[in-house]
């Protein structure tokens, strides 16, 4: 058997529960090496698991169907089908280069509705704003939820709970990071929108939401990275203002975009995943927090169980580039 192959499915293997089936496949990918199409097929062959909450995360994608965006969308459709994705998270920069002008803007069709067409992607999309979205009409993206059957952006920042099969819960806290970046206040196209936002109020809300949460899992989603080896690098304002709140409240993971690459970083017990490669990519690098980094179009797939979150970074060719396991409780 070649390195990276998944063992044949014997009768004993098929008699396992669906939950054990997916868990075994995830474990096999972590141990067998992360290249080749056989691995990708094996990883997702089990379909929706009875024991995990499965979803995709993509960012920095809205480019009217350019080649990389279309390829990533196609692989997202295949992955969502195979894992039974319950929803999709967009980590911002939904529409380039200057956001949208209204809820009737053609970009919604050209960059979103016409691209993410696979039946498996017709699930709820939970979206946040990126800095390029701030260059347009932010309210229009909130308003579009009234027109779309799947687009969800109830506010510039919001929280929601999801049930994990088996009875556990996850608190997903979607935040609005652009107003924290001080240089944006001087930008001619976005300065007015940036200055209209109260970052102190948002920080207080984040802390209060996380502090009162009784969910065993706490995941925060923002556009800008806290730490990054990519083109934009670290976001000092988030290191100073957001990171202490995440650590105080024992947040297990932070997902972001902004840098056009795929990265996994770790600072203490906090795992950080950049999924900003939904279309055009840029060079990335390595810093002391880096666990993995690659400049390749792609997205992230997540299988969240009661005790472990499995994260897979998948490229525009359908290959699993990186696998990570995040425990609910740090060991």
Taking CA atoms, 106 is separated from 103, 124, 152, 247, in Å, by 9, 21, 18, 41
Phi and psi for 69 in degrees, rounded to 5?
-65, -45
Of 108, 116, 173, 180, which Cα lies nearest the Cα of 137?
108
Q: Is the dihedral of CA 118, 120, 122, 127 positive or negative?
A: negative
d(CA 314, CA 297): 9
- Characterise 239 by phi-psi region: left (phi > 0), alpha (psi -120 to 50), beta (else): alpha
Instruction: Decide if 63 contacts 111 (C-beta within 8 A).
Output: yes
Among the listed residues 132, 224, 232, 258, the single catalytic one is 232
Sheet holding 125-127, edge to edge: 151-152, 125-127, 87-90, 53-58, 298-304, 308-315, 320-327
Q: Which tokens sit at 205? A: 């809300």
Q: How far apart are CA 26 and CA 7, in angstroms?
A: 13
In terms of DSSP bridges, do strands 151-152 and 308-315 run parallel, antiparallel, or are they unpaired? Answer: unpaired
Burial of residue 198 (CB within 10 Å: 0-12, 13-18, 19+) is: exposed
- The answer to whether 232 is a known catalytic residue is yes
Tokens matching residue 186: 């001087």
Q: Could you list the active site residues?
A: 232
């Amino acid at each position: 058997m070649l390195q990276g192959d998944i063992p044949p499915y014997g009768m004993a293997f098929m008699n396992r529960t669906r939950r054990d089936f997916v868990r075994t496949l995830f474990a096999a990918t972590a141990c067998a090496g992360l290249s080749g199409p056989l691995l990708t097929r094996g990883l997702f062959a089990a379909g929706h698991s009875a024991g995990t909450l499965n979803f995709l995360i993509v960012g920095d994608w809205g480019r009217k169907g350019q080649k990389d965006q279309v390829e990533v969308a196609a692989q997202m459709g295949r992955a969502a089908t195979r894992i039974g994705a319950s929803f999709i998270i967009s980590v911002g920069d939904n529409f380039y280069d200057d956001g949208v002008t209204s809820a009737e803007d053609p970009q919604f069709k050209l960059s979103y509705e016409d691209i993410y067409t696979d039946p498996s992607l017709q699930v709820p999309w939970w979206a946040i704003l990126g800095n390029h979205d701030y260059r347009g009409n932010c309210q229009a993206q909130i308003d579009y939820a009234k027109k779309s059957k799947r687009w969800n952006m109830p506010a510039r920042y919001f929280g929601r709970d999801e049930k994990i099969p088996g009875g556990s819960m996850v608190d997903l806290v979607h935040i609005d990071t652009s107003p924290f970046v001080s240089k944006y206040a001087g930008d001619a196209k976005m300065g007015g929108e940036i200055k209209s936002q109260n970052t102190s109020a948002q920080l207080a809300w984040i802390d209060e939401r996380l502090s009162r949460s009784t969910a065993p899992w706490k995941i925060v989603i923002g556009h800008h990275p806290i730490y990054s080896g990519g083109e934009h690098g670290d976001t000092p304002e988030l290191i100073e203002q957001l990171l202490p709140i995440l650590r105080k409240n024992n947040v297990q993971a932070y997902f972001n975009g902004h840098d056009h690459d795929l990265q996994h970083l770790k600072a203490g017990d906090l795992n950080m995943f950049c999924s900003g490669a939904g279309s055009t990519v840029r060079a990335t690098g390595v810093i002391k927090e880096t666990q993995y980094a690659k400049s390749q179009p792609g997205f992230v797939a997540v299988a969240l169980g009661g005790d472990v979150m499995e994260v897979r970074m998948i490229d525009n060719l359908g290959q699993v580039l990186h696998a990570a396991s995040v425990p609910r409780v740090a060991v």
